[in-house]
Amino acid sequence: MAAQNSRACLVLSNGMKMPQIGFGTLMIKPHEAVAAVKAAIDAGYRHIDTAYVYDNEEQIGQAIKEVIAEGKVKREELFIVTKLAPQYLSPERVREGFDNSLKLLQLDYVDLYLMHVPTAVQFDKNDRPLPTNEKGELRIDVDVDYVDTWKEMEKLVDEGLAKSIGVSNFNEKQIERVLQVAKHKPVNNQIEVNPYFTRQELVSFCQSNGIVVTSYSSLGAPGNMKTEEDPVLLSDPVVKAMGAKYNRSPAQILLRYPVSRGCAVIPKSLNPEHMKENMQIFDFELSTEDVKSLDDLNMNSSQLNRFWIIFKDHPHYPFV
């Protein structure tokens, strides 16, 4: 188990160390990203998570360049994660998708490169951040097999461009198919994990196969993906009562929950004080009984259904 401090790391199956808490950048707008990432690094974050479809890699790369130039951190002290967008899953476009990200980030390599989803969409040269038709709908591509995508991603490891590769939003059967052909085993599966969507079987499956799980949406769904009728995890009475018991914020309880299960977490905040608070989760432990109480909140349904519905007709839809 990782040491209980803000620099706690999880060891990947290839021997690399990944900081157990990272700074998530989903929905951080380009004009906010430079300041946010610099503030996160000042707060102690060394693991930065982004993706091509977040449309902020260029600004994140600028922030990294500036903090290195200022002598605040060395490149080798950072763990940078980005992801292959679904419009680049076609094997002949994998390198193009990766090169786009590397150029935007202004880096020579990334520490971890993930296949963002197993569900391909059709390529369009005007693809930022995701290609859609005139109705605003994604044009799914049913002819791409993510196993073929994986084989192309392995070449990035062979060439030293990606130190590690992994997947995101994959289920057990999809991971098994990758493992059957993998020369470079996926070291990470980044998935939604929170008390409303505990993913017990998937997390156990990954860990039993030496695949570290990174939890996203640990605090629940972002506000724009919810309606007034949807439950709000941060306001759940069980979570709030547990916060009072441990003298912690609800956010700290919710971040500690996947960490207690051996997962990494990547909370996002634009508030420097919240950034620091989110890191302060390694100096207390949830009791076994309290972890079970959080488990019991499980609804076995993604908090991001309003996003995932766009892929529901895809043959590689992961929630089956």
Q: Which residues are catalytic?
A: 54
Pairing mode, strands 188-192 and 9-11: unpaired
């002949």: which residue's tokens?
Answer: 92
Number of H helices, E strands in the chain: 11, 10
CA distance 240 to 242: 5
The answer to whether the beta carbons of residues 109 and 61 sit under 8 Å apart is no
The two tokens of residue 76 are 């080798």
CA 136 to chain centre: 25
Task: Report angle CA 248, 242, 7 to the nearest 5 degrees.
Answer: 45
With the C-alpha atoms ordered 71, 76, 79, 81, is the resulting torsion angle positive or negative? positive
With the C-alpha atoms ordered 52, 56, 62, 63, is the resulting torsion angle positive or negative? negative
Length of the chain: 320
CA distance 94 to 18: 24
Cis upstream peptide for 258 (omega within 30°): no
